[in-house]
């Protein structure tokens, strides 16, 4: 039974099993990402947050192809695009489903812990973001149109910087 975000192990972008327990003690910003989305430029802001708060924050990107097939490539293509286009250095994971019967258990957990507007659990689009405390509590859910710079203000308060 899952009791914490740290109970999850997922495949990273290289196919290696990665336990989220390694991030215990840090804030997490978990984002479903896509390379061909109108919000794709948010990679730049996510990378800025990662670099600025990296000792206290881990940005984790989960590619998803469920929204108008905006992440059509395989893991190698995704990794290459993110590295070459946005110099992404934060951890990326293998493609996941965030909705439907194949929803990865991590996203089932996140949606249950922090439903969207009016209690809906479905992820509405790419670049939905979840902020998780160092203790593993899901603190906040951000809509896709919330820019990483706007999340920076919340992080600055929490991290007291």
Q: Find, among 31, 30, 48, the residue nearest to 133 by Cα.
A: 30
CATH code for the domain of 37:
3.40.30.10
Instruction: With respect to residue 5, please indicate whether it lies within any of the assigned structural domains.
Output: no
Residue 116 has what pLDDT? 80
Q: Does the reported pTM lie above 0.85? A: yes
Per-residue confidence (pLDDT) for residue 2, from 0 to 100: 67
Residue 1: which pLDDT band, with cuts at 50, 70 and 90? Answer: low
**Does residue 64 have an active-site annotation?**
no
Question: pLDDT-derived band of residue 161, with 50, 70 and 90 as boundaries?
Answer: low
User: How many residues are given for the chain?
Assistant: 161
Each residue's pLDDT tens digit, 117-155: 777 789 999 999 999 999 999 999 999 999 999 999 899
The yes-or-no verdict on residue 95 having pLDDT over 90 is yes
- Structural domain includes residue 144: yes
Tell me whether residue 148 is in a domain.
yes
pLDDT of 2-42, one tens digit each?
A: 678 999 999 999 999 999 999 999 999 999 999 999 999 99
pLDDT at 160: 78
Say if 1 falls within a structural domain: no
More confidently predicted of 161 and 157: 157
Helices then strands, counting H and E runs in the chain, come out as 4, 6
In a domain, 17, yes or no: yes
Please identify which of the residues 30, 31, 37, 151 carries the catalytic annotation.
37
Cβ contacts of residue 130 below 8 Å, gap of 6+? 28, 29, 30, 31, 110, 114, 138, 140, 141, 142
Which pLDDT score, from 0 to 100, does residue 37 have?
96
Which range is least confidently modeled, 20-29, 93-102, 110-119? 110-119
In 3D space, the residue among 44, 61, 54, 59 whose CA is nearest the CA of residue 126 turns out to be 61
Look at the chain and report how many structural domains it folds into.
Answer: 1
Please report the pLDDT score of residue 30 as a whole number: 98
- Across 33-42, 43-52, 84-93, 152-161, least confident range: 152-161
Query: Is 8 a domain residue?
Result: no
Containing structural domain, residue 52: 13-159
Cα end-to-end distance, the chain, whole Å: 36
């Amino acid at each position: 039974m899952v009791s914490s975000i740290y109970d999850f192990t997922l495949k990273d972008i290289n196919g290696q099993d990665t336990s989220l327990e390694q991030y215990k003690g840090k804030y997490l910003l978990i984002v479903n990402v896509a390379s061909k989305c109108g919000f794709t430029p948010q990679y730049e802001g996510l990378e800025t947050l990662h670099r600025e708060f990296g000792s206290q924050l881990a940005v984790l990107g989960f590619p998803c192809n469920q929204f108008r097939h905006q992440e059509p490539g395989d893991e190698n293509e995704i990794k290459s695009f993110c590295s070459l286009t946005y110099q992404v250095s934060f951890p990326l994971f293998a493609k996941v489903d965030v909705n439907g019967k194949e929803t990865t258990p991590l996203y089932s957990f996140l949606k249950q812990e922090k439903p969207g507007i009016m209690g809906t659990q479905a992820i509405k689009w790419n670049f939905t973001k979840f902020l998780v405390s160092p203790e593993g509590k899901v603190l906040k859910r951000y809509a896709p149109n919330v820019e990483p710079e706007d999340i920076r203000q919340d992080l600055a308060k929490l991290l007291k910087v």
